[in-house]
C-alpha cells in the first residue's frame, strides 16, 4: 500500500469518529518539518518529530527545510497539524443574516409577488 493510500485510509477512519469517539487520539506538541519555496514560504509538510534535536538534525544544512513547534492530533502513527484556531460559526444565525441581506435587495413589488 502506498503512503497516499495509507493516508486516504486514515482519513476514512477519521470520518468514522463521529460514531466511535476519539479513543486512541490525543493532542501532543511536536516539531513540524516542512519545505519552503525560494521566497521562504511554506510549500509542503514532510512530517513531525517528537525529539526537537532529531528534527533539527534532519533539517540541518538543507536551506529548503524548516522546523517549527506545533500541536498535533495523533494516534502515534499519523498526525494532523493544528496550524491555527478558527471560530465556529453559528450556521443558523448566519443563515438568518444572509436571508435578511437577500430580502433587502427585493423591491416592494417583488416582495408582494413572493408573498413576503
Query: Does 65 map to a domain?
Result: yes
Cβ(46)–Cβ(3) below 8 Å: no
Cβ(67)–Cβ(33) below 8 Å: yes
Q: Is the pLDDT of residue 52 over 80?
A: yes
In whole numbers, what is the pLDDT of the chain averaged over residues? 85
User: CA-CA distance, 64 to 41, in Å (whole number)?
Assistant: 10
Residue 18 is predicted with a pLDDT of 61
Nearest 10 degrees: CA dihedral of 69, 70, 71, 76?
-80
Query: Does 103 map to a domain?
Result: no
Residue 20 is predicted with a pLDDT of 64
Of 1, 18, 2, 13, which Cα lies nearest the Cα of 80?
A: 13
Task: Report the sign of the C-alpha dihedral through residues 76, 80, 86, 90, in that order.
Answer: negative
Q: Is the pLDDT of residue 26 over 70?
A: yes
Query: Does 51 map to a domain?
Result: yes
Whole-number percent of the chain with pLDDT over 70: 91
Query: Does 69 map to a domain?
Result: yes
Its pTM surpasses 0.75: no
| Burial zone of 73 (CB within 10 Å; 0-12 exposed, 13-18 middle, 19+ buried) | middle
Higher pLDDT, 15 or 31: 31
For 17, the domain range is 3-85
User: CA-CA distance, 104 to 111, in Å (whole number)?
Assistant: 10
What mean pLDDT comes out for the span 50-72? 91
Query: Does 105 map to a domain?
Result: no
Q: State how many domains the chain has.
A: 1
Query: Does 29 map to a domain?
Result: yes
Query: Does 61 map to a domain?
Result: yes
Amino acid at each position: 500500500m502506498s503512503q497516499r493510500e495509507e493516508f486516504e485510509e486514515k482519513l476514512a477512519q477519521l470520518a468514522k469518529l463521529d460514531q466511535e469517539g476519539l479513543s486512541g487520539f490525543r493532542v501532543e506538541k511536536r516539531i513540524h518539518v516542512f519545505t519552503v519555496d525560494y521566497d521562504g514560504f511554506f510549500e509542503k509538510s514532510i512530517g513531525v518529530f517528537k525529539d526537537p534535536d532529531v528534527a533539527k538534525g534532519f533539517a540541518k544544512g538543507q536551506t529548503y527545510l524548516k522546523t517549527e513547534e506545533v500541536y498535533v492530533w495523533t494516534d502515534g502513527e499519523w498526525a494532523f497539524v493544528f496550524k491555527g484556531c478558527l471560530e465556529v460559526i453559528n450556521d443558523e444565525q448566519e443563515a438568518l443574516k444572509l436571508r435578511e441581506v437577500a430580502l433587502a435587495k427585493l423591491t416592494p413589488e417583488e416582495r408582494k409577488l413572493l408573498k413576503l
